[in-house]
Homo-oligomer: A and B are copies of this chain.
Amino acid sequence: MLNMPILGGVMGSHTVFTIPAPAPAFSLKRECASCPHIKESPWCHLDDQEISRITRIKKCQPYLTGQLLFEQGMPCKGIFCVVSGIVAVRQSAADGSSVIIRIAGEGDLLGYRTFFSGEDYPDSAEALSPSMVCFIPCQTLSEIIKETPEVARHFLRRLAADQGAIQEKFLQTSNCSVRDRLLGLLATFKNSYGSPIAGGELEIRLPLTRKDLAAMIGTCTESVIRAMRALEKDGVARFSGRMVVVAKPDLLCDDLL
């Protein structure tokens, strides 16, 4: 009964966890000041004292694959920061279908949109791999924002940029075939999950299952797989499990929109 924050019954096609998360007897807190992502974070303009305050107050917690950081319909209690692992933000409809809004990796923040809107979460955040995640409660965040206007400005910029990204995704979904949307998705993976290999080719390790790739581009699993076959037939890329070799990485640059 005491495991409420991380568990939660799950909608859609996911397993319900009944095992309590491994109790973090010793808290594995990384100092925020030594985080490699601090410079692009909202805290980049805070002084040492304020940063150590965040380190002191935040809670860090490990999540197993499939566990939820927060769940659709719950009130927002704070924001999350991914220390390691991969987390997906998924919005589910009443009929069980779902869409993945975005995926967050090391150094990414989660849940701030809902913090600012003041509504309940319209989506869930789900660990796609074993992950370590920090949590900063609402009150602390509110105080920091009141005391340091730079932080508010950072979030304004970030929210505005996020919205632009979603708009583009929306446009792409409306106007492109599944094949082109998959290509666009690979393009977004290029930086975080890709690495150049011999022959000018690009290798990408997909962070998602076929089903979740489908959820990211608004289609079904089978259509994703058929789009993969189509790209192979055209000599654009080769797929094998989670590995993708893109023969023409140039296509990933301009092809989106």
Please name all residues of chain B whose beta carbon is closer than 8 Å to the beta carbon of A174 when the two chains form the complex: 97, 99, 173, 218-219
Chain A binding surface, main DSSP class: helix
A1 at the interface (CB under 8 A from B): no
A166 at the interface (CB under 8 A from B): yes
Q: Give the Cβ gap from A157 to chain B, nearest Cβ, in Å.
A: 6
Partner of A166, one of B94, B157, B161, B163: B163
Interface string of A105-117 (1 = CB under 8 A from B): 0000000011111
Interface string of A135-171 (1 = CB under 8 A from B): 0000000000110010011011101111110111111
Nearest residue (CB) in B for A166 is: B166
Q: Can you tell how many copies of this chain the complex includes?
A: 2
Q: Give the Cβ gap from A155 to chain B, nearest Cβ, in Å.
A: 6
Q: Which residues does A use to contact B, with CB under 8 Å?
A: 91, 93-95, 97, 99, 101, 113-119, 122-123, 145-146, 149, 152-153, 155-157, 159-164, 166-171, 173-175, 218-219, 257
